[in-house]
């Protein structure tokens, strides 16, 4: 699994996925934490739940996220 | 002279005051005022769209549409006063409102963006966590439940099964461990329910509008609760014989007792929500029949109750799902990811064997009372939470051996670590790097699962490890029951009548997540049907957002453009305690039912905290709703005062360092510079009983004895503070060698006697 619960991430780019909504552009550059990864099937295509600092919790496509040290 | 307030901000203050003080008596005027307040708040915090101002103006006109108001004297009618006030503000300050909309900024900086605590922001339902933790810390459990239910109608359920994103973002975790938010909620709910203090809030009178909710899962229950409170007549259609959806038929009873769901559903039912059980939409009731009954809005909360198939040879036969017709037509195409040749159907297998079941069906069957053991040797295929639930349930039903077969390794398992550990404790075996290839049987029932060993290989340009079968590694796991748990999807049967809704490529309903509105007018959706299999709290949050959106839909109010910021309901006073206590209190360990009983019964596995544990745990909260961690206090203390007594390493999200509140007292001089610069009164200086106290959200960081002027008794400060002043001024003023300690005024009088 690429993302695990509790890992810190950054929304580093817009996703090309249809689940990306216009208001999510504001998320780019924001750091957060994986709160619920794909707990069912470990699918790289699944939307995963992330909590973004000061912005709330959302399900985002994985291609817009990267881990931060 | 006070700084003039921003008109947008002052409108919020004015309307809030009018609503909170109960000055608005007429229900219609109250509704209009609440709607205007909601829109103006969105204009204030930058969440409004271009239609918002127009909508506010139209609502203001509604104040004057009732002749009875106009007939009354304007001067003695409070309701018309509000309309007149708002109309004048909008006329006079229209440009300022427009500027807020266009730029998202407030020139006067009065309209600061609301900044709820990180835990509240993280909660998909936006529960005001610091407020209810404070109330629990004070023993006010019923009040805490009242606060929680403003955003989540199922606090007891969530207290037991929430995935707790709040705890993941808890700032206390940067010091030691997060506050046990989840279980404190369960404790408060249980206590309030037990004492009869778990009450529904007052409902608005019925407004004559009807909403139909399809699905009584967490999203449907949440929407029905908030709609019923708003005065809507709500009917919930449920195909199962019970309410709760996946809460009831997906989560095993050892994690969530049925009574918990029943009691919270009963509270919703008490609001007049009508539940129609054993009623399948499209079969027992139709869209047309519901529309004829007067339902004008529909909320789809149908969940994701269909299991993905394994796609291996023998699956359909031993699940008894293969039919002669489908075999003949070749329609039984499987979706194997492992062996393409499995797509062909072996005609020898026509029949109806037993032994293969999908996890959703299995857990549902058990939840609804069928407690027969699926087999002596059970194999579960999958690595997620549902697979773990199925494995632990099989054990409790009496299976002699339960093996969980997963394609990757333990570290790639998507299930929660705690769940995996508990399953292991109970005796579930794990077979990692195992790829099922076929189901073996004797023609009547399953005898084993054929598997291949896998190895994990990285694909080019990627970090993800993929399981690849190792040639010649075939082996068989003996089994007489096989449960597949490799994911669920939305069952769209019956949904075809909603011709306007769009479906995503993931097979979920497409909505605008800010309001859960589908592309069909008057149809809303939330829960797993929208997200795919997800969490209970997301479904609850989605249901609440949908209820708000349905209310807007009926009242012709534009839907929000971006997600609403959670609401802080009040600022509960922080609990006072010493820095030492704050640091020493540790998160309590959850006691579990003994392992023998866990293996054989469905009794709740987690035994809960004692009352003392709960009250102490609530006091560990750092009250991040008050201290926003702006760091001004630290900067002032270090850079302006040159002391550096405040070392709060938890303030930085990305790179937290050690924090020990006890260390502040080592160097702090209680000068108060930090308190004077705190924008939110989180850090304060108090003088009490001859001492000066420095408190951060109730935690006493330092306490120093005060010294007084020996002539006039004015407060001089602490000895450390006086030393600091003396040291700083040594080079600019001659130090008087005084025997007596005097304040500045007395010193001047002494130096320059009149």
Q: What are the φ and ψ backbone dihedral angles of B276, each rounded to 5 degrees?
A: -110, 100
Inter-chain residue contact B464 with A38, CB threshold 8 Å: no
> Which positions in chain A touch B535 (Cβ < 8 Å)?
36, 49
Four-point Cα dihedral B722, B728, B730, B732, nearest 10 = -130
> Which positions in chain B touch A21 (Cβ < 8 Å)?
512-514
Question: What was the pLDDT predicted at B655?
Answer: 86
Q: What are the φ and ψ backbone dihedral angles of B551, each rounded to 5 degrees?
A: -60, -40
Inter-chain residue contact B487 with A51, CB threshold 8 Å: no
Nearest-by-CA chain B residue for A57: B122
Mean pLDDT of B45-61: 85
Is the pLDDT reported for residue B101 higher than 90?
no
Inter-chain residue contact B654 with A8, CB threshold 8 Å: yes
**B429-474 pLDDT per residue, tens:** 999 999 999 999 988 899 999 999 999 888 777 777 788 989 889 9
Mutant choice from A7, A10, A56 vs B, greatest count of B C-beta within 10 A:
A56
Mean pLDDT of B13-40: 87
The span from the CA of B183 to the CA of B162, in Å, is 9
Question: What was the pLDDT predicted at B182?
Answer: 95
Question: What was the pLDDT predicted at B571?
Answer: 75
The two tokens of residue B135 are 């109330």
**B320-346 pLDDT per residue, tens:** 765 434 433 434 333 333 333 333 334
ipTM value > 0.90? yes
The span from the CA of B177 to the CA of B588, in Å, is 10
The contacts of residue B433 (CB under 8 Å, 6+ apart) are B406, B407, B408, B409, B453, B454, B455, B456, B467
Question: What was the pLDDT predicted at B78?
Answer: 64
The span from the CA of B694 to the CA of B168, in Å, is 29
Inter-chain residue contact B414 with A42, CB threshold 8 Å: yes
Distance from CA of B69 to the nearest CA of A (A): 41
The 10 Å Cβ neighbour count of residue B388 is 27
The span from the CA of B395 to the CA of B423, in Å, is 9
Tell whether A63 is within 8 A of chain B (Cβ): no
Q: What are the φ and ψ backbone dihedral angles of B713, each rounded to 5 degrees?
A: 70, 15
SS3 B45: coil
> Which positions in chain A touch B542 (Cβ < 8 Å)?
none
> Which positions in chain B touch A53 (Cβ < 8 Å)?
118, 121, 169, 653
Distance from CA of B485 to the nearest CA of A (A): 8
Inter-chain residue contact A19 with B504, CB threshold 8 Å: yes
Distance from CA of B413 to the nearest CA of A (A): 7
Candidate from B169, B464, B531 with C-beta closest to A47:
B531
Is the pLDDT reported for residue B254 higher than 80?
yes
Is the pLDDT reported for residue B406 higher than 70?
yes
Mutant choice from A57, A58, A60, A68 vs B, greatest count of B C-beta within 10 A:
A57
Query: What's the Cα-to-Cα distance from B92 to each of B89, B158, B349, B659, rounded to whole Å?
Result: 5, 48, 81, 51
Question: What was the pLDDT predicted at B71?
Answer: 47
Tell whether A66 is within 8 A of chain B (Cβ): no
Nearest-by-CA chain B residue for A69: B654
Give DSSP secondary structure letters for B369-424.
Answer: T----S-SEEEEE--SHHHHHHHHHHHHHT-SEEEEE-SS-GGG--S-HHHHHHHH
The two tokens of residue B373 are 């053991």
> Which positions in chain A touch B386 (Cβ < 8 Å)?
40
Candidate from A23, A41, A44 with C-beta closest to B562:
A23
Tell whether A47 is within 8 A of chain B (Cβ): yes
The span from the CA of B164 to the CA of B122, in Å, is 9
**Length reported for chain B:** 754
> Which positions in chain A touch B171 (Cβ < 8 Å)?
none
Candidate from B123, B163, B510 with C-beta closest to A36:
B163
> Which positions in chain A touch B463 (Cβ < 8 Å)?
2
Distance from CA of B250 to the nearest CA of A (A): 13
Q: Which of B423, B483, B427, B429 is nearest to B605 (CA)?
A: B423
Per the CB < 8 A criterion, the answer to whether A50 and A2 are in contact is no
> Which positions in chain A touch B309 (Cβ < 8 Å)?
none
> Which positions in chain A touch B653 (Cβ < 8 Å)?
8, 31, 53
Adjacent-strand bridge partners of B212: B235, B298
Which segments within B173-218 are labelled E, that is strand?
210-214
> Which positions in chain B touch A58 (Cβ < 8 Å)?
513, 563
Question: What was the pLDDT predicted at B754?
Answer: 62
Candidate from B121, B504, B538 with C-beta closest to A18:
B504
Nearest-by-CA chain A residue for B162: A36
Mean pLDDT of B720-724: 89
Is the pLDDT reported for residue B736 higher than 70?
no
The alpha carbon of residue B247 and the mean position of all alpha carbons in its chain are separated, in whole angstroms, by 16
Inter-chain residue contact A49 with B123, CB threshold 8 Å: no
Among B12-21, B287-296, B367-376, B558-567, the least confident range: B558-567
Tell whether A1 is within 8 A of chain B (Cβ): yes
The span from the CA of B326 to the CA of B324, in Å, is 6
Adjacent-strand bridge partners of B435: B452
SS3 B618: helix
> Which positions in chain B touch A56 (Cβ < 8 Å)?
121-122, 124, 126, 563, 565-566
Q: Which of A12, A67, A17 is nearest to A37 (CA)?
A: A67
CB pairs under 8 A between A and B: 114
- If residue B749 lies in a helix (H) or strand (E), which one and from where to where? helix B744-751
Among B175-184, B234-243, B314-323, B735-744, the least confident range: B735-744
Mark residue B196 as left, alpha or beta (left: phi above 0; alpha: psi -120 to 50; beta: remaining).
left
Which segments within B594-744 are labelled E, that is strand?
606-608, 683-688, 691-696, 699-708, 715-718
Mean pLDDT of B180-207: 95
The contacts of residue B551 (CB under 8 Å, 6+ apart) are B227, B230, B232, B557
Nearest-by-CA chain B residue for A44: B464
Question: What was the pLDDT predicted at B607?
Answer: 94
Model confidence at B70, pLDDT cuts 50, 70, 90, reads very low
Distance from CA of B425 to the nearest CA of A (A): 21
Q: Which of B545, B387, A14, B389 is nearest to B530 (CA)?
A: B545
Inter-chain residue contact A57 with B561, CB threshold 8 Å: no
> Which positions in chain A touch B538 (Cβ < 8 Å)?
36, 49, 57, 59
The contacts of residue B214 (CB under 8 Å, 6+ apart) are B220, B236, B237, B281, B298, B299, B300, B301, B302
Is the pLDDT reported for residue B350 higher than 60?
no
Question: What was the pLDDT predicted at A9?
Answer: 94
Inter-chain residue contact A57 with B122, CB threshold 8 Å: yes
Mark residue B91 as left, alpha or beta (left: phi above 0; alpha: psi -120 to 50; beta: remaining).
alpha
Query: What's the Cα-to-Cα distance from B303 to each of B214, B261, B299, rounded to whole Å?
Result: 10, 17, 12
Inter-chain residue contact B653 with A26, CB threshold 8 Å: no
Rg (CA), chain A: 11
Nearest-by-CA chain B residue for A23: B562
More confident residue, B582 or B628: B582
More confident residue, B458 or B618: B618
- If residue B276 lies in a helix (H) or strand (E), which one and from where to where? strand B274-276
What share of chain B has pLDDT > 70, as a percent? 90
Distance from CA of A16 to the nearest CA of B (A): 13
Inter-chain residue contact A40 with B385, CB threshold 8 Å: yes
The span from the CA of B361 to the CA of B249, in Å, is 9
Q: Which of B217, B299, B221 is nearest to B267 (CA)?
A: B221
Inter-chain residue contact B534 with A23, CB threshold 8 Å: no
Model confidence at B39, pLDDT cuts 50, 70, 90, reads very high
Residue A25 CB burial class (10 angstroms; 0-12, 13-18, ≥19): exposed
Per the CB < 8 A criterion, the answer to whether A38 and A26 are in contact is no
Inter-chain residue contact B416 with A43, CB threshold 8 Å: no
Q: Indicate the pTM of the whole model.
A: 0.83
Distance from CA of A12 to the nearest CA of B (A): 15
Question: What was the pLDDT predicted at B24?
Answer: 81
Question: What was the pLDDT predicted at B752?
Answer: 72
Question: What was the pLDDT predicted at B678?
Answer: 86
The 10 Å Cβ neighbour count of residue B410 is 13
> Which positions in chain B touch A8 (Cβ < 8 Å)?
653-654
Q: Work out the mean pLDDT of chain B and round it to a whole number.
A: 87
**A5-24 pLDDT per residue, tens:** 889 999 999 999 999 988 89
Mutant choice from B121, B383, B528 vs A, greatest count of A C-beta within 10 A:
B121
Mutant choice from B49, B115, B120, B165 vs A, greatest count of A C-beta within 10 A:
B165
Query: What's the Cα-to-Cα distance from B78 to each of B30, B61, B247, B648, B710, rounded to whole Å?
Result: 11, 16, 47, 50, 57
The two tokens of residue B483 are 């449960």
The span from the CA of B278 to the CA of B285, in Å, is 11
The span from the CA of B671 to the CA of B476, in Å, is 75
The two tokens of residue A31 are 């750091």
> Which positions in chain A touch B519 (Cβ < 8 Å)?
none
**B534-570 pLDDT per residue, tens:** 999 999 999 999 999 999 999 998 888 778 778 777 7
């Amino acid at each position: 699994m690429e993302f695990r619960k509790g890992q810190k991430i950054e929304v580093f780019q817009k996703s090309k996925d249809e689940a990306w909504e216009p208001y999510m552009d504001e998320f780019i550059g924001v750091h957060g934490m994986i709160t619920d990864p794909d707990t069912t099937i470990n699918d790289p295509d699944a939307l995963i739940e992330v909590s973004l600092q000061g912005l709330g919790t959302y399900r985002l496509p994985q291609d817009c996220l990267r881990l931060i040290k | 002279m006070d700084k003039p307030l921003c008109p947008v901000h002052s409108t919020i203050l004015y309307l809030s005051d009018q609503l909170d003080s109960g000055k608005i008596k007429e229900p219609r005027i109250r509704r209009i005022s609440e709607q205007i307040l909601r829109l103006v708040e969105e204009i204030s915090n930058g969440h409004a769209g271009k239609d918002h101002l127009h909508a506010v103006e139209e609502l203001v006109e509604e104040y004057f549409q009732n002749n009875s108001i106009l007939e009354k004297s304007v001067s003695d009618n409070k309701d018309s006063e509000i309309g007149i006030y708002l109309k004048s503000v909008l006329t006079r300050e229209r440009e300022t409102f427009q500027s807020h909309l266009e730029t998202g900024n407030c020139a006067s900086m009065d309209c600061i963006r609301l900044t709820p605590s990180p835990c509240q922001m993280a909660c998909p339902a936006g529960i005001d966590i610091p407020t209810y933790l404070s109330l629990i810390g004070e023993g006010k459990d019923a009040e805490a439940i009242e606060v929680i239910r403003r955003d989540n109608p199922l606090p007891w359920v969530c207290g037991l099964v929430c995935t707790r994103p709040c705890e993941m973002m808890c700032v206390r975790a940067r010091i030691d461990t997060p506050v046990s938010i989840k279980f404190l909620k369960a404790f408060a709910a249980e206590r309030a329910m037990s004492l009869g203090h778990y009450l529904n809030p007052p409902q608005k009178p019925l407004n004559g509008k009807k909403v139909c909710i399809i699905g009584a899962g967490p999203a449907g229950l949440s929407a029905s609760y908030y709609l019923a409170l708003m005065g809507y007549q709500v009917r919930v259609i449920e195909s199962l014989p019970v309410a709760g959806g996946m809460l009831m038929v997906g989560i095993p009873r050892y994690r969530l007792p049925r009574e918990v769901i029943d009691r919270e559903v009963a509270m919703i039912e008490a609001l007049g929500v009508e539940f129609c059980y054993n009623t399948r939409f499209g079969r027992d009731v139709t869209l047309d029949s519901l529309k004829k009954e007067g339902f004008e809005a529909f909320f789809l909360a149908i969940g994701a109750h269909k299991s993905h198939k394994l796609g291996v040879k023998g699956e359909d036969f031993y699940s008894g799902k293969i039919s002669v017709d489908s075999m003949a037509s070749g329609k039984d195409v499987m979706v194997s990811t492992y062996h393409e040749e499995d797509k062909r159907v072996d005609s020898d297998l026509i029949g109806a064997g037993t032994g293969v079941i999908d996890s959703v069906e299995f857990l549902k069957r058990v939840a609804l009372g069928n407690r027969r053991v699926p087999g002596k040797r059970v194999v579960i295929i999958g690595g997620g939470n549902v697979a773990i639930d199925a494995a632990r349930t099989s054990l409790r039903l009496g299976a002699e051996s339960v093996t969980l077969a997963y394609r990757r390794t333990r570290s790639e398992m998507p299930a929660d670590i705690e769940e995996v550990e508990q399953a292991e404790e109970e005796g579930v075996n794990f077979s990692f790097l195992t790829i099922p290839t076929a189901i073996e049987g004797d023609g009547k029932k399953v005898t084993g699962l054929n598997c291949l060993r896998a190895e994990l290989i990285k694909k080019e340009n990627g970090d993800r490890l993929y399981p690849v079968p190792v040639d010649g590694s075939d082996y068989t796991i003996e089994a007489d029951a096989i449960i597949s748990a490799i994911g669920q999807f939305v069952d769209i049967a019956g949904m075809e009548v909603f011709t306007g809704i769009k479906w995503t490529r993931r097979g979920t309903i497409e909505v605008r997540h800010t309001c859960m509105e589908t592309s069909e007018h008057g149809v809303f959706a939330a829960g797993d049907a929208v997200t795919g299999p997800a969490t209970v709290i997301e479904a609850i949050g989605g249901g609440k957002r949908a209820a708000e959106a349905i209310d807007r839909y009926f009242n012709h109010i534009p839907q929000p453009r971006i997600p609403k910021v959670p609401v802080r309901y009040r600022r509960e006073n922080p609990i006072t305690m010493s820095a030492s206590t704050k640091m020493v209190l540790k998160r309590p360990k959850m006691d579990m039912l003994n392992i023998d009983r866990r293996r054989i019964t469905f009794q709740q596995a987690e035994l809960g905290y004692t009352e003392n544990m709960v009250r102490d745990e609530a006091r560990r909260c750092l009250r991040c709703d008050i201290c926003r961690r702006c760091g001004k206090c630290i900067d002032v203390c270090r850079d302006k005062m040159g002391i550096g007594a405040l070392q709060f390493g938890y303030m930085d999200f990305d790179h937290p360092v050690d924090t020990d509140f006890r260390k502040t007292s080592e160097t702090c001089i209680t000068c108060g510079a930090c308190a004077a610069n705190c924008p939110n009164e989180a850090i304060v200086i108090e003088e009490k009983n001859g001492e000066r106290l420095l408190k951060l959200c109730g935690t006493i960081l330092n306490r120093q004895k005060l010294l007084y002027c020996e002539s006039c008794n004015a407060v001089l400060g602490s000895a450390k503070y006086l030393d600091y002043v003396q040291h700083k001024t040594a080079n600019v003023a001659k130090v008087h060698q005084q025997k007596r300690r005097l304040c500045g005024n007395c010193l001047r009088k002494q130096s320059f006697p009149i």
